[in-house]
Structure 1
Amino acid sequence: MPVCRDDLYVAIKVCVAEKDHGGETRELQTLNKLASYYRHLEHVVKLLDNFDLKGPNGIHTCLVYELLGPNIPDTINAYFPGGRLPGKLAKSIAKQSLIGLDSLHRYAIAHGDLHTRNLTFTVPSMDYMTKEEKFIEMLGKPEIGLVRRSDGKDLETGIPEYIVRSSSFRTHMWNWAQSIKIIDFGESFLYTTVPQTLHTPLPVRAPEVIFQDHIDYRVDLWSMGCMLFELFVGQPPFDTFLITPTILVAQMQEMASDELPERWHEKWETMKSSDDEPTESTAPDLQEWLEELYFNSAQIPDLTRQDIVRLGRIIGKLLRLEPSARASAKQVLDDPWFDE
């Protein structure tokens, strides 16, 4: 079969195969709606095309995206030995991510999986690299590992013969464009088709998901509060190591600027009684924790204490246990601090 080639480099996401492949996936449904608004979505990844691929395990939906650069954690690991972004760069990224989220919510779309690994930097167009060898030189040669059974027997049908390590951009690719886009719409949903639950990483998961309450776009506002915290200090506000829902909710109550909604009290008592983990948290409040992590770091701060105080107030408007009490992305963006 002839291969069609053009001078456009793309990223392809191959979704998990489905035995019964009928209609659009939730992700594709969201992205198809977004396609009408791309000219207004500067900080959201663009879907260029999609197709189905039949494999031994079923039919894979394949999504063709514009090519983007590394995500936030990978960038920090590669270029910032202090473990966090410079404050002014973090502020720029925070504003861009809020613009991106506000635009999604304006078009009645919730992301559902907002965290720093789903924020990626843009890169200059590489379409001028007509020779594939040059492209591989920029990204590095793909590393392939053979798949073997531990007992030495033959692989079963449907198991891949090899896997390929994800590529990463080399140091000289970093262009300091400082422009980011929100990616990965696997947990996204339209306001009219709300899922029963979400699989957002636990440390940034909204409390209403944990309490199995009604879900709507405001889950993104809680996750945005966690993400803003992490952008400036290099870690989320809550524990990430061996965290459980019970421990997390206890920490949420220490950090949040409001009380646990009464409708969750009964379930919270059940969680505490069925979990051996201590729920009496001695964690500092949000502002204390933010200042401690920012100023007691090996990295020299480039933001003032007043900057961090104002940042803490902004995050506090998002980290509210009651979803209806959270500030919208637009309200947060209207804070003058982002333009100073």
Structure 2
Amino acid sequence: MGRLLNSLGSQGSKRKGKVSVSERENDRANRELEVMKELASIQPRSQHVMRMLDDFDLEGRNGTHKCLVFELLGPSIPDTIYARFPDARLPGKLAKVLAKQALLGLDTLHQQKIGHGDIHTRNLAFTMPCMVAVPEEEFIEMLGKPEIGHVRRSDGKALEPGIPEYIVRPASSSYRTHSWSSSYPIKIIDFGESFLPTSVPRTLHTPLPVRAPEVIFRDHLDYHVDLWCMGCMLFELFVGQPPFDSFLITPTILFGQMREMASDAVPERWQDSYKTTDDRITGETSGPALQEWLEEIYFDGERGEDLTKQDIVKPGQIIGRLLRFEPSSRASAREILNDPWFRE
């Protein structure tokens, strides 16, 4: 939909922006702007939802581009794990803290019946308080000199109107080298798939391994799609990978795995659709149930373990309350947050 870029605001303030492709009616860009404006009106502001600082239109050769300016945040959860945790998973206590913060952010959205539409670990980013007071010169040095590639036609002729003369590689902060702390809170980012209850899209483009079943079956959508995705994300926060396969996955294979993990039956209105997708998934499930699979992955003997089998029971129960086929039967973010486990 758009290109992400890091930029400098006035007085050297650091911001992150999104420039949408130029289209007469860019529904996704319009929905995102509506959602961000709605979130900006909520008081008090959530500490766990990304803020939009400004928006404007940019006129170009190809038309009008909607530009959104966001606060600058740090690395995503997967990037942090890659840089900081050799076992490719978070410590159990940190996973619990981040799970609570993600649920707090989601609760803020769902109290307004806003759907994020793309909840997964790459859309959780750490705040970086240490970046706020970084001088502009040091900030640019941290990002490195912009890499520019000039656009040339293979036949040597002049570029056609509307073709950019050069492209710039997106910059990224050197989070491996500057001060980082697990005490920094996280925020939900990237609202490109988000929607208000008055502008629900027909489908979503959530990554397939964490996509809610109602999206696969093209059922009516609302903010409950995020709760299924949250269940998948909590599973990944604790064990280091999603509950469903991410390699060579197809909707048919995914649905077969969903039936093994979901804690309720397939809704009657989906029966005809799922029975015609593939005869192999109409029979009894044969894979491990949710809790069994959670423990099997966590205690694989290949990565560090700081949780016991007793410790992992509660996350399994919570995930089970979210991985339910019937959207309205999934526990809300607030109901999950009210579980005494989060106060221990």
**Common fold by TM > 0.5:** yes
Output aligned runs, 1:201-212, within 5 Å. Answer: 201-212=207-218
For residues 143 and 245 of structure 1, do their structure 2 counterparts lie closer, same or farther at Cα, with a shift above 3 Å needed?
same
Instruction: Name the counterpart of 1:332.
Output: 336
Alpha carbons 2:216, 2:251 under 8 Å: kept: yes
Instruction: Name the counterpart of 1:144.
Output: 148
Kindly state the Cα deviation for residue 298 of structure 1 after the two structures are TM-superposed. 3.0
Alpha carbons 2:58, 2:65 under 8 Å: kept: yes
Q: Does 1:78 align with 2:80?
A: no
Task: Describe the superposition over 1:31-83 as per-residue Cα deviations: whole angstroms up to 9, x where unpaired.
Answer: 10111115231100111101111223222111111110011111111111211
Kindly state the Cα deviation for residue 84 of structure 1 after the two structures are TM-superposed. 1.2
Alpha carbons 1:44, 1:182 under 8 Å: kept: yes
Q: Does 1:17 align with 2:37?
A: no
Q: Does 1:183 align with 2:183?
A: no
Output aligned runs, 1:5-44, within 5 Å. Answer: 5-19=10-24, 25-37=30-42, 39-44=44-49
Instruction: Name the counterpart of 2:305.
Output: 301
In structure 2, distance between residues paired with 1:84 and 1:6: 38
Instruction: Name the counterpart of 2:325.
Output: 321
SS at match of 2:241: coil
Q: TM-score, structure 1 length as denominator?
A: 0.90
RMSD of the TM alignment (CA)? 2.6
Instruction: Name the counterpart of 1:286.
Output: 290
Q: Does 1:238 align with 2:240?
A: no
Alpha carbons 1:69, 1:169 under 8 Å: kept: no
Counting aligned pairs with the same residue, the percent is 61
In terms of mean alpha carbon deviation, does 137-146 or 240-249 score higher? 137-146
In structure 1, distance between residues paired with 2:27 and 2:78: 36
Kindly state the Cα deviation for residue 285 of structure 1 after the two structures are TM-superposed. 1.3
Amino acid at match of 2:94: L
In structure 2, distance between residues paired with 1:72 and 1:28: 25
In terms of mean alpha carbon deviation, does 185-194 or 150-159 score higher? 150-159
In terms of mean alpha carbon deviation, does 181-190 or 301-310 score higher? 301-310
Q: Does 1:223 align with 2:229?
A: yes
In structure 2, distance between residues paired with 1:21 and 1:320: 33
In structure 2, distance between residues paired with 1:239 and 1:279: 20
Task: Describe the superposition over 1:133-162 as per-residue Cα deviations: whole angstroms up to 9, x where unpaired.
Answer: 200233333333445667877655434422
Alpha carbons 2:146, 2:168 under 8 Å: kept: no
Kindly state the Cα deviation for residue 102 of structure 1 after the two structures are TM-superposed. 0.6
List alignment gaps of at least 5 residues for structure 2. 1-7
In structure 2, distance between residues paired with 1:254 and 1:236: 14
Task: Describe the superposition over 1:156-175 as per-residue Cα deviations: whole angstroms up to 9, x where unpaired.
Answer: 54344223134133323242
List alignment gaps of at least 5 residues for structure 1. none
Kindly state the Cα deviation for residue 338 of structure 1 after the two structures are TM-superposed. 1.5
Amino acid at match of 1:135: F
For residues 4 and 164 of structure 1, do their structure 2 counterparts lie closer, same or farther at Cα, with a shift above 3 Å needed?
closer
Kindly state the Cα deviation for residue 243 of structure 1 after the two structures are TM-superposed. 0.8
Instruction: Name the counterpart of 2:108.
Output: 103
In structure 1, distance between residues paired with 2:284 and 2:211: 20
Q: Does 1:254 align with 2:233?
A: no
Amino acid at match of 1:320: R
Alpha carbons 2:9, 2:15 under 8 Å: kept: no
